[in-house]
Amino acid sequence: MPEGDTIFRTAQALHRHLAGRIVTRFESVYPALTRIDHDRPLAGRTVEGVTSRGKHILMTFSGDLVLHTHMRMNGSWHGYPPGAAWRLPARDMRVLVATAEFVAVGFNVPVAELLTARELARHEALRELGPDLLDESFDPGGAMARARTQPAATPVADVLLNQRVAAGIGNELKSEVLFVAGVYPFTPVSTLADADLTRILGVGRDLLRANTNVRGRLAPSRGRRTRDSLGRDGALWVYGRGGKPCRKCGTPIQAKKTGIDARITYWCPRCQPAPTAA
C-alpha cells in the first residue's frame, strides 16, 4: 500500500503537470464517474490543483468538482506524454485525466469518486482522518489526544497504522519508525508516556518528510529510505529483513503477523526490547 510520502510525491507531481491546464479528455471504467462526466463534462474544465490528505489524493477542477482517489493496496497514478506507451496494460486503467501536454492514468485505483465541495466537506472517511503528518500545520497535540482514545491494550504499532489517529504512516514505515524510536512494537499504548508518544510521532513525521524531498516521476516511485547510508547495504533498517542481522547490533530481526489483515511487523529484540513487568 502506498504510504503518505508516496502519495504526497504523487500529488506534487500531478499538480506540477496538470495545475492550470485545461482537461481535454476524461475516462473511467466506473459508471458513477462516467455518469457525472456525461452530465457535467470534465473536458473543458481547468485543473485548479492536486493535493494529498494522508493517503488520499484530491484533484480539484473548475466548476465545483473534485476527483477523490485512494490507492488502497495496489493502486497507482502514472504520467505520460500524449501518445506514449503505458507501462501497465490498458485493462488496468480505472480513471484517466488528460490535457494537451500530459496524460495522468490511475491504474487499479479501487476508490475514485467525483464530489462537489459540499460533498467533500461531508465525506466521512476524510472527516475522520487524524492530523496529517505531512501537513505544515500538523498538530501533535491533536494526534496525541486521538491516540489516548484507543483501547488501553492496543499495541503502539497498531496505533501508528490507525489513520484516525495520525494520517500517513503505513505498514513499512510503522516498523521503521518504531526501530528508529527504539520502541517495542507491541507495547500497549496506555503504558507509553506522553513524551514517548510525542517522540514516536516526531520520528514518523521526520521519516515521511525525508522521503518527500525528491522531485521524481510519478511511477515507478523512488524507493523509500530511512537510513542515512547511501551505500549498497540497504535503505531500510528492519522492514522485510526477518531473520537477518540488525544493521546496528547484529541481532536477528524478528517478524510477526498480527491483526485480521495479517500485517507483518519487523523489529530488533535488542534495540527494541519488550518492556519488563513492573
In tens, the pLDDT along 60-69 reads 999 999 999 9
Does residue 55 have an active-site annotation? yes
Per-residue pLDDT of 134-148, as tens digits, reads 999 998 999 999 999
Would you state the CATH architecture of domain 4-127?
Alpha-Beta Barrel (3.20)
Predicted local distance difference test score (pLDDT) of residue 219: 45
Does residue 131 have an active-site annotation? no
Between 140-147 and 194-210, two packed helices, what is the crossing angle to 10 degrees?
Answer: 120
Q: Pick the catalytic residue from 55, 155, 174, 185.
A: 55
Which amino acid makes up residue 137? S
Nearest Cα to 166, choosing from 205, 206, 213?
205
Does residue 185 have an active-site annotation? no
Nearest Cα to 248, choosing from 231, 215, 272?
272
Per-residue pLDDT of 70-120, as tens digits, reads 998 889 999 999 999 999 999 999 999 999 999 999 999 999 999 999 999
Asked whether the predicted pLDDT for residue 277 surpasses 80, the reply is no
Asked whether the predicted pLDDT for residue 222 surpasses 90, the reply is no
User: How many Cβ atoms are within 10 Å of 208's Cβ, its own excluded?
Assistant: 23
User: For residue 206, what is its C-alpha cell?
Assistant: 521526520
Predicted local distance difference test score (pLDDT) of residue 61: 98
Domain ranges of the chain: 4-127, 140-267
The CATH number that domain 140-267 falls under is 1.10.8.50
Average pLDDT of 158-165? 95
Q: Where residue 235 falls among pLDDT bands split at 50, 70, 90? A: confident
User: Given the C-alpha cell 504520467, which residue does it identify?
Assistant: 79
Asked whether the predicted pLDDT for residue 34 surpasses 90, the reply is yes
Predicted local distance difference test score (pLDDT) of residue 233: 61
Predicted local distance difference test score (pLDDT) of residue 2: 74
Predicted local distance difference test score (pLDDT) of residue 214: 52
Which one has a higher pLDDT value, 237 or 260?
237
Provide the mean pLDDT of the chain: 92
Per-residue pLDDT of 173-221, as tens digits, reads 999 999 999 999 999 999 999 999 999 999 999 999 988 865 544 544 4
Rg (C-alpha) for the chain, rounded Å, is 20
User: How many Cβ atoms are within 10 Å of 53's Cβ, its own excluded?
Assistant: 22
**Cis check: omega of the bond before 220, within 30 degrees of 0:** yes
What's the chain look like in SS3? CCCHHHHHHHHHHHHHHHCCCECCEEEECCHHHHHHHHHCCCCCCEEEEEEEECCEEEEEECCCEEEEEECCCCCEEEEECCCCCCCCCHHHEEEEEECCCCEEEEECCCEEEEECHHHHHCCHHHHCCCCECCCCCCCHHHHHHHHCCCCCCCEHHHHHHCCCCCECCCHHHHHHHHHHHCCCCCCEHHHCCHHHHHHHHHHHHHHHHHCCCCCCCCCCCCCCCCCCCCCCCCCCCCCCCCCCECCCCCCECEEEEECCCCEEEEECCCCCCCCCCC
Task: Please tell me the distance from the alpha carbon of residue 184 to that of residue 20, in angstroms, as a whole number.
Answer: 47
Predicted local distance difference test score (pLDDT) of residue 245: 97
Q: Where residue 1 falls among pLDDT bands split at 50, 70, 90? A: low
